[in-house]
Amino acid sequence: MGYNIAIDGPAGAGKSTIAKLVAKEKGYIYVDTGAMYRGLAIHFLKKGIQPDEKEKIIDACKDAEVSIGYEDGAQQIYLNGENITSMLREEAVGNMASISSAVPEVRAKLLDLQRNLAKEKDVVMDGRDIGTHVLPNADVKIYLTASVECRANRRFKELTEKGIACNYDEIAQDIQERDTRDMNREIAPLKKADDAVLVDSSDMTIEEVVKAITGLCR
């Protein structure tokens, strides 16, 4: 049985960055569940499906196979055998993932893969509903958050450094909308598990957050 650390929280809270560092420090495998949903989102977009076309999304799940691999310790996402990792961070992909992940059939498609990984290995898994739904018996549960302003600033900086033109107000609005969507969806909404430790990273350095979380682990 693997030792499981679940890190949940809203979009842009730094879950992936923190989870990767915690996994590295503990020698565990990092599982980015958001990347799996983005993998399926790429499949839907490739088929020309719009985010509001729920029936088409459900139908498209049938011929999509998302799998995880690791190269030099970094997680890679494969869609029907093709490595699509470099496409995962595109804005259109993120928006499609946020909407399509509310579809029960999409979640069911990935749930077994996520749980089986956690059963077999020591993992740090991050997402929106890991501690509440995917791994309700995780050994350590963290709810990582930060203010909308702080998250928008981080995203703006990240995109600007990559040379991508962006608008701060649009990013902040997008984050706010994503929060509302994630918290209000019918299936496994974003919420803090009763037994999760709340970590607000708004005024913390990355090192401080990692230290706070690793201090809770065995």
Domains, the chain, ordered by start: 1-28+122-218 (3.40.50.300), 33-121 (3.40.50.300)
**DSSP string for residues in 159-209:** HHHTT----HHHHHHHHHHHHHHHHH-SSS-----TTPEEEE-TT--HHHH
As beta bridge partners, residue 75 has: 70
**What is the reported pLDDT for 185?**
85
- CA distances to 39, 65, 111, 139, 143 from 36, in Å: 5, 10, 10, 22, 20
Give residue 102's pLDDT. 87
What's the pLDDT at 183?
93
CA distance 189 to 198: 17
Coil, helix or strand at residue 12? coil
Q: CA-CA distance, 43 to 84, in Å (whole number)?
A: 10
Looking up tokens 């503990």, which residue turns up?
26
Angle at 32 between CA 132 and CA 30, to 5 degrees: 100
- pLDDT value at position 118? 93
Task: Report whether 206 contacts 21 (CB < 8 A).
Answer: yes
Q: Give the global pTM.
A: 0.82
Residue 32's pLDDT is: 86
- Extract the tokens encoding 56: 């088409």
pLDDT in tens, the chain (218 residues): 799 999 999 988 999 999 999 999 999 999 988 899 999 999 999 999 999 999 999 999 999 999 888 888 788 999 999 999 999 989 899 999 989 998 999 999 999 889 988 998 899 999 999 999 999 999 999 999 999 999 999 999 999 999 999 999 999 999 999 999 989 988 888 999 999 999 999 999 999 999 999 999 98
* pLDDT computed for residue 166 by the predictor: 94
The pLDDT value given to residue 72: 81
Residue type, position 175, single letter: I
Q: Could you tell me the two tokens for 128?
A: 């929106």
